[in-house]
Amino acid sequence: MNIMKSFVALTSRRSMLRGGLVGPGLMGAALLAGMPSTSLARDFRDDNELTEGDVAILRFLAALEILEADLWEQYNELGGIRDSELTSGTGIQAYTNALNSLDGDMSQYIHDNTDDEFSHASFLNAYLQSKNVPQVSLEKFRNLEGSQATGSSRKRRLTNLMQLTVDTSWWTRYRSSTLNPDLGDVFPPAVPSLATGEHTAIPRTDADLKPQSRLQAIANTAAFHFGTIEQGGSSLYPSLALRVSNVEVLRILLAIGPTETMHFQVWHDKVGNVVPMTDPVTGLTFPDLANSTDENLKANLIMPEPTIFSRKFPNTPVSIIRPTETRGAAMGAVNALTADGLFKGQSLDFFAFLQQLASEADEAQREI
């Protein structure tokens, strides 16, 4: 029997804390077991001063989280779950069914991913405000017309999900045992036909609901886009954390970043259930990844394959997030999202503002 399990079986968590049984020797074990340790917990402090670089990184992340919340809200309106947490839209049953053909819980995951992004944006802005730094708002850029299908709230959007060129190279990147984007390596997409042209990930109007194979291709596009977005967040947070100075800000990045990875891993798994098919209207083709014999493509190989982290350790591959290079990470994220078509139709002012935030974040230096 696991020693912690036997300990927990004998001592309830509450009595352990009340009785002060969490001595120094047990604190590490308590943390590993996910148990609270009052001796170690420190709340955020008001007198904690941020560097200019910390502020720039937080402001950039707040902007990206607002954009994430905007795109996820569109998915939730049409294919997720509307409830007291997320009230916008009324859903499209046929689109929801097409998404849930990958996994019966897709709508729940879409809802929860959306909820998480709103919480990321809100928290980062609340934290900035607590430091007397202006909150980030993109409201003046909320001018894009989203889906006009029945079920959409039809409110104005910041992001465009209807002309996407989805980069699915993360699929092969996380399966490679010899290559690393931080060492300059490039990776082929898992779905080559998503890498060219413009594809909608949501029904644009009610006309997109038929034929069924057309609607399934739209849902499949969404499912790959989910992974593309969340793997980006999985890299962005550690990349930027490398240039944070204040340990409280570091804690924020280290606590939010892995939730992006939790999202990514779910989507990575679910999108492996896409059935090979071709969109009868656009010709968009989804290959048979489930039955692939190629280890760079096979759907169930979702755990990050150990790969080369550093040329100094060519014979010691390690399972890691990739990339985590910090130089230019913020602008790299903006460029990747732009290349995917997420901001198609946005104003020059929008791009100027976002690029300004990114370049300020990329100028941040670790000052310790």
User: How far is the C-alpha of 170 from the C-alpha of 325, rounded, in Å?
Assistant: 15
Q: Least distance in Å: CB of 256 to Fe ion?
A: 7
Note whether 328 and 119 are within 8 A (CB): no
β strands within 132-261, DSSP E: 144-145, 156-157
Residue nearest to Fe ion (CB): 120
Stretch that binds Fe ion, among 146-154, 208-216, 233-241, 322-330 (CB under 5 A): 233-241
DSSP 266-291: HHHHHGGGPPPEE-TTT--EE---TT
Residue 120 CB, nearest distance to Fe ion (Å)? 4
Q: Which is nearer to Fe ion, 114 or 216 (CB)?
A: 114
Specify the stretch interacting with Fe ion by CB under 5 A; choose among 18-26, 120-128, 288-296, 313-321: 120-128
Question: Could you say which of 112, 167, 182, 260 contacts Fe ion (CB under 5 A)?
Answer: 260
For residue 363, give the 3-state DSSP assignment: helix
- Shortest Cβ 61–Fe ion spacing (Å): 8
To Fe ion, the closest distance from the beta carbon of 165 in angstroms equals: 19
Binding segment (CB under 5 A) for Fe ion, from list 26-34, 76-84, 228-236, 350-358: 228-236
If the CB atoms of residues 114 and 296 are measured against Fe ion, the closer one turns out to be 114
Q: HSE, CB side, 13 Å, CA atoms: give it for residue 304.
A: 20
Nearer to Fe ion, 193 or 324 (CB): 324
Alpha-carbon distance of 153 to 161, in angstroms, equals 15
Binders in 60-79 for Fe ion, by CB under 5 A:
65, 68
Residue 264 Cβ vs Fe ion, minimum distance, rounded to whole Å: 8
- Closest contact distance (angstroms) between CB of 304 and Fe ion is 18
Nearest to 215 by CA among 280, 166, 285, 148: 280
Examine residue 232 and tell whether it contacts Fe ion (CB under 5 A): no
Q: Are 264 and 230 in contact (CB under 8 A)?
A: yes
- Token pair recorded at residue 218: 């739209």
Nearest to 271 by CA among 249, 261, 286: 286
Q: Does 120 bind Fe ion (CB under 5 A)?
A: yes
Return the residue of 117, 167, 208, 279 that touches Fe ion, per CB under 5 A: 117
CB atoms within 10 A of CB 211: 10
> Is residue 271 a contact partner of residue 223, using CB atoms and an 8 Å limit?
yes
Q: CB under 5 A: which stretch of 25-33, 110-118, 330-338, 349-357 binds Fe ion?
A: 110-118
Which tokens go with 259? 């939730």
Please say which residue, 65 or 279, places its beta carbon nearer to Fe ion.
Answer: 65
Report the distance separating Cα 170 and Cα 149, nearest Å. 31
Angstrom CA distances, 216 to 18, 173, 212, 284, 350, stand at 55, 26, 6, 11, 32
Q: By C-beta, is 70 or 279 nearer to Fe ion?
A: 70
Minimum CB distance to Fe ion, residue 1 (Å): 38
Is the CB of 107 or the CB of 216 nearer to Fe ion? 107
Q: In the chain, what is the greatest distance between 2 CA atoms, to the nearest angstrom?
A: 68
Candidates 80, 89, 233, 238: give the one binding Fe ion (CB under 5 A).
233
Q: Point out which residues bind Fe ion (CB under 5 A).
A: 65, 68, 117, 120, 230, 233, 260
